[in-house]
Amino acid sequence: MAGSTDVAKVYERFISLVREVHWLNRISDLLSWDQQVMMPPKGVSARSEQYAVLSGLAHDRLAGNEMADLLAHLEAHSDELDEDQRVNVREVRRSHDRARKVPRELIQEIVTTEGLSQKHWLEAKQKDDFSIFAPWLEKMVALKRRVADAIGYEKTPYDPLLDEFEPHTTSEEVAGVLEGLKPALVELVRRIESSSIRPRREILERSFPIAKQEEFGAWIVRLMGFDFEAGRIDRSPHPFCSGANGDVRITTRYKEDYIPASLFGLMHETGHGLYDQGLDPKHEGTPRGFTVSLGVHESQSRLWENLVGRSMHFWRFAFPFLQAF
């Protein structure tokens, strides 16, 4: 990059490289969706190797010398960039500096372990036997500790891990928020437990044919504003949401005798999905077009699941339609 004065061309190459990282990660997301929704059990080993290859390619591009040179050049000419461009440079700088501290092999070992552990988590869940999954959880915690050590921290190894999901936030700050909420929540639980009023549960614990749950759930999701031309619903052992913009995939699980499991799972994941579908497609593949943090993301899912889905106003509207299904 030495001697280059064409900032526009440098930025164009920078964004091209940033988007390569994004698309490699999105391919991994699609493979993960497939593993949890469609993939036959014997595909696990090969899938884990696929994760490793893709994560290595993404790490090379994000942490490599070309990205370092591009960032340095653009930072030296930041006065020639507009606000959106400066945001992209700033956020990629954070990710780049972090990535350079974590060995490529460690990243690959983590994604491989995640892929292989999935089937053991599912088996433990089905058999209600934590010991099946425990060794894999222990291994993952050990790997994440190595990431924390590689990045560095002042007080606790969780801080650099938390920073990946909630930028610039520390465990101490989160603890302060939770401690502030604790007294009122403990008192609320105490009042509920000591109350003589007990809600009727039989309406929740009765037979709801799964086919009808699927129809009703999809109807609610559509009412919430989810675009089925840019997304889909599937089944999985545990609800999740993946993707962005024009390809957002949400899942839920079904129990014939307990409709809240599927319905509130769908409303929660649709909250995530609406956020993802609402991202500006003009900036797709760049930090400017990515989600702000997991906390903001979760605020959207919890808003729909709890503040809307569990409210009296919602059920005064929705219950007659549920009866009709």
Written as six digits, the tokens of 215 are: 């129809």
Contact 221, 233 (CB under 8 A): yes
CB atoms within 10 A of CB 38: 10
Active site (annotated) includes residue 123:
no
CA 10/CA 29 separation, integer angstroms = 29
Residue closest to 56 by CA, chosen among 25, 98, 16: 25
Written as six digits, the tokens of 16 are: 């091209």
CA 53/CA 44 separation, integer angstroms = 14
Q: Which of 109, 166, 269, 284 is catalytic?
A: 269
Sheet holding 247-252, edge to edge: 231-235, 247-252, 241-244
CA 207/CA 221 separation, integer angstroms = 22
Written as six digits, the tokens of 105 are: 């092999």
Cβ neighbours of residue 185 closer than 8 Å, sequence gap 6 or more: none
CA 227/CA 273 separation, integer angstroms = 9
Written as six digits, the tokens of 38 are: 């469609």
Catalytically active residues, by annotation:
269
